[in-house]
Amino acid sequence: YAHVTLEAGTILFEEEEPGAYAYLITRGRIEIFLRRDGAEIQLAVRGPGEIFGEMAILDSDPRSASARALDDCELVPVSEAQIRHRLSETDPILRLCLTVVMARYRETAALLRERGVVARGDPAAAPSPAARADFDAAITAVVLERELRRALDRQEFELFFQPIVRLGSEMLAGFEALIRWRHPERGLVAPAAFIPVAEESGLIVDITAWVVAEIGRVLPGIMRAGLRNVAAIEGSLFVSVNVSGHDLARASFPGMVCEMLRAAGIAPGSLKLEITESTLMRDPASATDALTLCRASGMGIAIDDFGTGYSSLSYLSTLPITTLKVDRAFVRAMLSEPRDHKIVQTILRLADEIGIPAVAEGIEEPAEARALAAMGCAYGQGYLFGRPAPLAETLDRIRS
């Protein structure tokens, strides 16, 4: 459904029309032409592995030429919004180069047309391996993005919950909510397969909105189950959710989360927002504003994958952080690599010095849990204590 099929001879668009889509060609040939003095002038023929109709999308000017299918064709449309978002995320120098190249191309083309000389494009030569790799990556991203939009409409996402326990007593302290995509054909899809494209395309904002709404739906049940089994639970349970820099860049984000908590009747202290260092670095000013508001209303703020980003430590002094999460990579290597052991020790000491608890991620072995507890790590998360599980299983676990 991400593909459009066209019969040979169909006109896709005409010169001077406004453009809404660029097209990736997966089958057939497309002719790019001008109509002048009752005749047609062919500018180029494009084939599989190529893109056309990109100019009007990049600079919002009208179509520079007309396009017609020469064969029965299969195309993947890329919307203006999809390209705009990626353009706004790209390096300003690259963006500047692109703008200037586009303007120069249009000027030259206009000049040639005035003089009656129209450059004749070569029929599509085989794209270079590098261009082919870019094309394949573009198709994958565009198709996946469309599927994700449809998955949101069709309610195909689901939250799993992974326990976080107090190290030492192993009492249940809370859960991390982790998204899954229940794909009708592919089964359960892990977030690593779609969160990166959701981030690139900006769709993550809609996904997070869904996650927040879903938390509002299920958290009251989790809290109630926790109250019925106080013996196995430390204080009242919390749930942490992963949020992206794109979410924090929206001025509406803190209000959306506060409204969810209010409507669900949940104390803000029961919710933690997990953010990675790289997410913070995207737009530190807006992230700081959003997190300061969320913290002021009582939510917890955890730094995820601590130590793996490329950031400085400065945000630890400026942001209202309440938890550090030690990345799985350090925990995994901790017992075999003295260096990783030292890094974990240093992170734990840092957390202790600034007076916030740490959560060690990816604990799989009892020896890891013992070593972390001995080093003063407050909380642990990992397959040793439980894998991420659906809501029903999670409620059973809380009650037993």
| Distances, alpha carbon 197 to alpha carbons 2, 87, 97, 139, 146, in Å | 16, 15, 25, 12, 11
Strand-pairing partners, residue 24, are 51, 76
State yes or no: residue 65 binds ligand CMP (CB under 6 A).
Answer: yes
For ligand CMP, give the closer residue by CB, 43 or 347.
43
Subset of residues 6 to 45 that bind ligand CMP, contact rule: CB under 6 A: 19, 32, 43-44
State yes or no: residue 196 binds ligand C2E (CB under 6 A).
Answer: no
**Binding residue for ligand C2E (CB under 6 A) from 25, 78, 164, 178?**
178
Amino acid identity for residue 338 in this structure: P
Q: Using the rule CB under 6 A, give the single segment among 63-71, 195-203, 257-265, 336-344 that binds ligand CMP.
A: 63-71
Least distance from C-beta 99 to ligand C2E, angstroms? Answer: 31
Residue 39 CB contacts under 8 Å (≥ 6 apart), including other chains: none
Residue 268 CB contacts under 8 Å (≥ 6 apart), including other chains: 258, 261, 297, 298, 299
Q: What is the C-alpha separation between 334 and 344, in angstroms, rounded?
A: 7
Q: What is the C-alpha separation between 338 and 385, in angstroms, rounded?
A: 25
- Residue 111 binds: one of ligand CMP, Ca ion, ligand C2E, none (C-beta under 5 to 8 A by kind): none
Q: Which of 251, 173, 247, 175 is nearest to 215 (CA)?
A: 175
Residue 52 near residue 131 (C-beta atoms within 8 A): no
Helices (H) and strands (E) in the chain, counts: 15, 17
Least distance from C-beta 206 to ligand C2E, angstroms? Answer: 11
Residue linked to tokens 């740490």: 358
Q: What is the C-alpha separation between 56 and 13, in angstroms, rounded?
A: 11
State yes or no: residue 55 binds ligand CMP (CB under 6 A).
Answer: yes
State yes or no: residue 323 binds ligand C2E (CB under 6 A).
Answer: no
Q: Using the rule CB under 6 A, give the single segment among 59-67, 194-202, 279-287, 368-376 that binds ligand CMP.
A: 59-67
Strand-pairing partners, residue 379, are 166, 359
State yes or no: residue 56 binds ligand CMP (CB under 6 A).
Answer: yes
Which positions from 262 to 281 touch Ca ion by CB under 5 A, shown as an x/- string?
------------x-------
| Distances, alpha carbon 309 to alpha carbons 272, 300, 313, in Å | 20, 20, 10
Q: What is the C-alpha separation between 239 and 291, in angstroms, rounded?
A: 17
Subset of residues 223 to 282 that bind ligand C2E, contact rule: CB under 6 A: 242, 244, 274
Which positions from 345 to 384 touch Ca ion by CB under 5 A, shown as an x/- string?
----------------x-----------------------
Which residues contact ligand CMP by CB under 6 A?
19, 32, 43-44, 52-56, 63-65, 67, 119, 121
Which residues contact Ca ion by CB under 5 A?
242, 274, 304-305, 361
Which residues contact ligand C2E by CB under 6 A?
162, 178-179, 190-192, 195, 204, 211, 242, 244, 274, 304-305, 328, 361-364, 381-383, 388
